[in-house]
Amino acid sequence: MNLAKVQQHIRQWVENTLSVPSPIFNNLPPCPYSREALLNNKVDIRCRHGAELLDSITAIGRTWDDSYQLILVACDPDTIKPEELIVGIEKVNKMFEADDLISFFDHPNCANPKYKVTSANGKYVLVGMQRLNNFIRAARPLYKKNYFAQVNKQFSVAKNIDKIEKA
């Protein structure tokens, strides 16, 4: 994979999809913080082969140092099956829960309705890792605006709803 092409695709996706209001997110952008995070160099984007993807995100969790707010790891969709990714990310999230880290994924071939994200980038598999407390802090004002009403299964909202509701 070509890192520069992946970075360009992600930047275009953030600008043209994640930063544009959507009725699915109660007329808010799917990811209202992504543009600012990219502009402020708070997102690190990496490429791996699918066979290395879960090991890579695990290594990121073990060495997390808060240099970035979010680390995204991309791979080609034909190098890892959605089912394998679902199981792997669930294990990663259990492994790093006590460390205040959470991972999420976007696989363009994922048919599981629990993980089907309508703002998906459509080209690459993306796995992200970030601090759970940062996610919760950012989610609180969105939750109050019914941002998650149609999509809470897809995010870590269901498991962390009590933390998000506390203002």
Summarised one tens digit per residue, pLDDT across range 53-71 is 999 999 999 999 999 999 9
Distance between CA 67 and CA 43 in Å, rounded?
Answer: 9
- Categorize the per-residue pLDDT at 140 as very low, low, confident or very high, splitting at 50, 70 and 90: confident
Distance between CA 95 and CA 57 in Å, rounded?
Answer: 11
**Residue 119 confidence (pLDDT) above 80:** no
Q: Which residues contact 64 (CB under 8 A, 6 or more apart)?
A: 99, 101, 129
Bigger pLDDT: 97 vs 151: 97
Q: Which residues contact 123 (CB under 8 A, 6 or more apart)?
A: 9, 77, 108
| Mean pLDDT, range 106-133, rounded to an integer | 85
Return the closest-CA partner of residue 35 out of 55, 50, 19, 48: 19
Distance between CA 127 and CA 124 in Å, rounded?
Answer: 10
**Residue 48 confidence (pLDDT) above 60:** yes
> How high is the pLDDT of residue 36?
93
